[in-house]
Amino acid sequence: MIDLKSMTLEELSGFLRSMGEPAFRGRQVFTWLHKGVSSFDEMSNLSKALREKLKEQCILTVPRVAKKQVSARDGTIKYLWQMADGNCVESVLMRYHHGNTVCISSQVGCRMGCAFCASTIAGKVRNLTPAEMLDQVLFTQQDSGAEVSNIVLMGIGEPMDNLDNVLRFLELVNHPDGINIGMRHISLSTCGVIPGIARLAELGLQLTLSISLHAPDSETRSKIMPVNRAYDVEALFAACHEYFRKTGRRISFEYAMIDGVNDHDWQADLIAKRLRGMPGHVNLIPLNEVTESPFRLSRRMAAFQKQLEAQGITATVRRSLGGDIDASCGQLRRRAMEEEKKGEQGCKFGV
């Protein structure tokens, strides 16, 4: 079956021409798909005969809300979406004064193995298709009634480990006949997969690159982030400097504050040293504690921020949203996994 929603407008128009349809049908179908229709029958300006042909040859991805949590504090909504094969991923709608942001997943599970992250528990199952990433935006808007103006690829999975599909998703979500969210309103986060960073640098997309740093020294980073054994932190900073040289765009460095692990003054000093020569923003994140992890929230958040700022580094503490729900990445999916083990109804895993 053909996945129409993962096609570009040009590919879709070509497919419909191959069915004997005029070229303008491609734009009509593309527009319907990007409105988040749940069936081909909703495409009312297409002939019934064409709709029947599409049903026979094509799939229409429509995720189901498996679980939903709404924060009474700030209106943050956490979704667990169940896809056609039964697997589940998470997305989060966050409300800010400048607009609504949705954080989406790029994979089912993750193989990167970061020691403090719930997303990587049970490893990677599969990549998401461009359509499945797009669906998280479309159906979050549809279910919540809130128009999304910003996207962050910072949910379950490593985007650089599914880069071809991620790039196709970016092309689709940026299209003027679709949701039309500009690249400057999109952030892509990576734990430090250097070939992916280099590829983005060559493409010169106007998105914001976020690096999940979490430690500036190789010894610490290798203990909490296995990716550092493949792409050492020194090589990672070199890749970041090259990215800035080619694109001129500032990089955001995500830094989850872990008590007694990565919150020492000398580590703040090392961050400042390695950022020298390029602009960089350090986003300090209060650690979301995971039951399976021994790590706890740092008690030196303010002191670490002060140490960075004393050396001219822009450092902010991420605002905590959805504190009364499972808003941290991977938590809701993990809960569903536990329910499955108990024999309760939920998503399936390891497919």
Residue 2, pLDDT above cutoff 60: yes
Residue 284: Cβ-neighbour burial (10 angstroms; 0-12, 13-18, 19+): buried
CB 131 within 8 A of CB 177: no
Q: Which of 103, 114, 191, 329 is catalytic?
A: 329
Residue 127, token pair as written in the block: 């990549």
Q: Does the global pTM surpass 0.75? A: yes
Question: DSSP letter string over 68-90?
Answer: EEE-TTT--EEEEEE-TTS-EEE
Amino acid code (one letter) for 203? L
* DSSP conformation class of 129: P
Residue 147, token pair as written in the block: 């128009």
At residue 294, the pLDDT reads: 87
Q: Is 312 left (phi over 0), alpha (psi -120 to 50) or beta?
A: left
Q: What is the Cα–Cα distance from 125 to 351, expressed in whole angstroms?
A: 6
| CA atoms within a 13 Å half-sphere pointing along the CA-CB vector of 256 | 20
Residue 107, token pair as written in the block: 């994979």
- pLDDT tier for residue 302 given thresholds of 50, 70 and 90: very high
Residue 37, pLDDT above cutoff 70: yes
- pLDDT tier for residue 327 given thresholds of 50, 70 and 90: low
Give the tens place of pLDDT for each residue, 173-232: 999 999 999 999 999 999 999 999 999 999 999 999 999 999 999 999 999 999 999 999
CA 180 to chain centre: 18
* 240 has catalytic annotation: no
In this structure, is the dihedral angle defined by the CA atoms of residues 295, 122, 104 and 234, taken in order, positive or negative? positive
CA 339 to chain centre: 25
Least confident of 192-196, 233-237, 300-304, 319-323: 319-323
* 90 has catalytic annotation: yes
Instruction: Calculate mean pLDDT across residues 98-112.
Output: 96
Phi, psi dihedrals of residue 124, rounded to the nearest 5°: -85, 135
Q: Which of 90, 132, 158, 254 is catalytic?
A: 90
Q: What is the Cα–Cα distance from 109 to 334, expressed in whole angstroms?
A: 10
Amino acid code (one letter) for 152? V
- pLDDT tier for residue 120 given thresholds of 50, 70 and 90: confident
E strands present in 13-132? 58-59, 64-70, 77-82, 88-96, 99-104, 107-108, 126-127
- pLDDT tier for residue 351 given thresholds of 50, 70 and 90: very low
